Amino acid sequence: MIRLSDLALPLDHGPDALEAAIVDRLGLTPGALERFTVVRRGNDARKKTAIKLVYVIDLVVRDEAAVLARHADDSHVRPTPDTSYRFPVRAPAGYGGERPVVIGAGPCGVMAALILAQMGLKPIIIERGKAVRERTKDTWGLWRRSELKPESNVQFGEGGAGTFSDGKLYSRIKDPRHLSRKVLTEFVKAGAPEDILTEAHPHIGTFRLVTMVMSIRETIESLGGEYRFETRVEDFAIETTADGGRELAGLHLSDGSYLPARHVICAVGHSARDTFHALHDRGVFVEAKPFAIGVRIEHPQSWIDRARYGPNAGNKVLGAAAYALSHRASNGRTVYSFCMCPGGRVVAATSEEGRVVTNGMSQYSRAEFNANSGLVVDIDPVRDYPGGPLAGIDFQRKWESLAFTAGGSNYRAPGQKVGDLLAGRPSSGDFGAVVPSYQPGVTLTDLSLCLPDFVIAAIREALPVFGRQIKDYDHPDVVLTGVEARTSSPVRFTRGADFQSLNTRGLYPAGEGAGYAGGILSAAVDGIKVAEALAADLLG
């Protein structure tokens, strides 16, 4: 089979144009093309009046060797890579040995548990939050009634933080083994739309993520896995080995029980601050890592569509437009868009009382009125929060607490209009052309009350720059909502080549919380890698 990439056709091409373009591109004789499959479809919108669809195609031809030889110098014509997944090890039939434990049922933990279950190892999944349906009700309680449940919210519960997001399923990670294909295939089996296998920038959306997570749980349980919801790991039992090393022995759980466990994947997500402290207190190696802090910025989606697609705005094939922006400010800080959610809303994402945190969310349709994105500034441990590996947690909490106060101390979020921020004055009165979507509501104020001065300065410099790239990006009525403080984990539980903690055998730090992923797909891929390493060690 041959893979043909970078095949561009007009946006409005007909149903037979793709086959004709393949034949023409490869110089095939009539009848030589036996069949083809679309592997990926993206778009090239650099010329708004002549947008093109760009395809990657797998095809079968007569005399494949001759075609490949004829195009040997063309990097876009190559043999199709083998993207099938193969388990590196499997438990023997009827396995009754040690059961691995997975802490956390977010994208990383769920995929790790699925792989372990498919290998026959019958994992135990410990999740501090609730099952996804009950968790969804609790999350709506914060959004609608300002009632926070610290163990059941956007951050904690089955599906993890990714459940209440745009459900983006693309990543820039290096993936030579095509593990992302395994992830996407399993998601489709669980009910995700099949187009995630072919779209260049696939997404699922919150509602579909909920049902998909439930389906994966049913699969894991059918293979002998066990979920324990509303159960938090309070402490880690670590023993000293004969050679003076450290080895995980078990877990102390919030229900008062002790779970013996010598192979544990820790996939707790970037907001499990109490777990970070428990691991640090037990001497598990941890170091501070960079993250970012800023705001959510909202525009009417129609503005972004027009700026990106011009006269083709609203085309169903293109869907809601997205963007990615970056600017190096004069104060040495990088300002960039983060987790852009077309046709979505800004959501309350705190997991701690007395704090305000924002995030973005979209449904699969991306049909809501506003587009939103994080607009964040890089934070560096050495420069911004010296004081130990967990100092970033205190840094985040400081600004989240100030945001709670600035918003009115009732989980409303502080907001400011772009025109006022650029002029250096607080916002007040009514909203203009842009009405923010955050619930339980936005209080217009001065965001300098709840963000570092260098963040405000960098964003103030970047907005006009971005406005020259996307028309009306810096419109005076555009709303900034604070604070976006949990872009990624502020810590890294460093691991070795065997995926185990540098100094604690049997503990496998994984995913976003451990500092090894950023987003649903990269976290899920990391879950596969860690599960494979654990299984290889467990089965010898």
pLDDT at 208: 85
Task: Dump the DSSP string for 480-525.
Answer: EEEEE--SS-SEE--B-TTSSBSS-BTEEE-TTTTTS--SHHHHHH
Q: Is the peptide bond before 452 cis (omega within 30 degrees of 0)?
A: no
Residue 507: predicted pLDDT: 98
Co-location of 236 and 113 in the same domain? yes
Indicate whether 430 belongs to any domain: yes
Q: Is residue 93 part of a domain?
A: no
CATH number of the domain within which 209 lies: 3.50.50.60
Same domain, 296 and 366: yes
Please indicate, yes or no, whether residues 405 and 518 belong to a single structural domain of this protein: no
**Within a domain: 94:** no
Q: Is the bond preceding residue 483 a cis peptide, omega within 30 degrees?
A: yes
Q: Is residue 179 included in any domain, yes or no?
A: yes
Task: Check which CATH number belongs to the domain holding 17 and give it.
Answer: 3.30.70.2700
**Looking only at Cα atoms, what is the longest distance across the chain?**
73
* 300 and 445 belong to one structural domain: yes
Residue that terminates a domain, selected from 484, 511, 527: 484
Same structural domain for residues 164 and 265?
yes
* Same domain membership, residue 426 and residue 500: no
Identify whether residues 297 and 446 lie together within a single domain.
yes
Examine the fold and report which residue of 484, 504, 527 is the final residue of a domain before the chain moves on: 484
Phi, psi of 464 (to 5 degrees): -65, -30
Alpha-helical regions (H) of 81-231: 107-118, 132-145, 179-189, 206-222
Q: Which of 327, 301, 243 lies closest to 505, judged by CA?
A: 243
pLDDT digits (tens, 9 = 90+) for 364-421: 889 899 999 999 999 999 999 998 999 999 999 999 999 999 999 999 999 999 999 9
- Looking at the fold, whether 280 and 303 belong to one and the same domain comes out as no
- 213, 338: one domain: no
Looking at residue 460, what is its pLDDT? 98
21 within domain boundaries:
yes
| Tens-digit pLDDT string for the chain (540 aa) | 999 999 999 999 998 999 999 999 999 999 999 999 999 999 999 999 999 999 999 999 999 999 999 999 999 999 999 999 999 999 999 999 999 999 999 999 999 999 999 999 999 999 999 999 999 999 999 999 999 999 999 999 999 998 888 888 988 899 999 999 999 999 999 999 999 999 988 988 877 888 999 999 999 999 999 999 999 999 999 999 999 999 999 999 999 999 999 999 999 999 999 999 999 999 999 999 999 999 999 999 999 999 999 999 999 999 999 999 999 999 999 999 999 999 999 999 999 999 999 999 998 889 899 999 999 999 999 999 998 999 999 999 999 999 999 999 999 999 999 999 999 999 999 999 999 999 999 999 999 999 999 999 999 999 999 999 999 999 999 999 999 999 999 999 999 999 999 999 999 999 999 999 999 999 999 999 999 999 999 998
Q: Which of 463, 484, 505 is the last residue of a domain?
A: 484
Residue 88 lies in a domain: no
Q: What pLDDT shows up at residue 377?
A: 98
Same domain, 333 and 272: no
| Number of domains composing the chain | 3
Domain, as residue range, for 360: 290-484
Query: Is there a domain that residue 92 lies in?
Result: no
Are 414 and 429 contained in the same domain? yes
Residues 476 and 409 grouped into a single domain: yes
Residue closest to 532 by CA, chosen among 57, 210, 85: 85
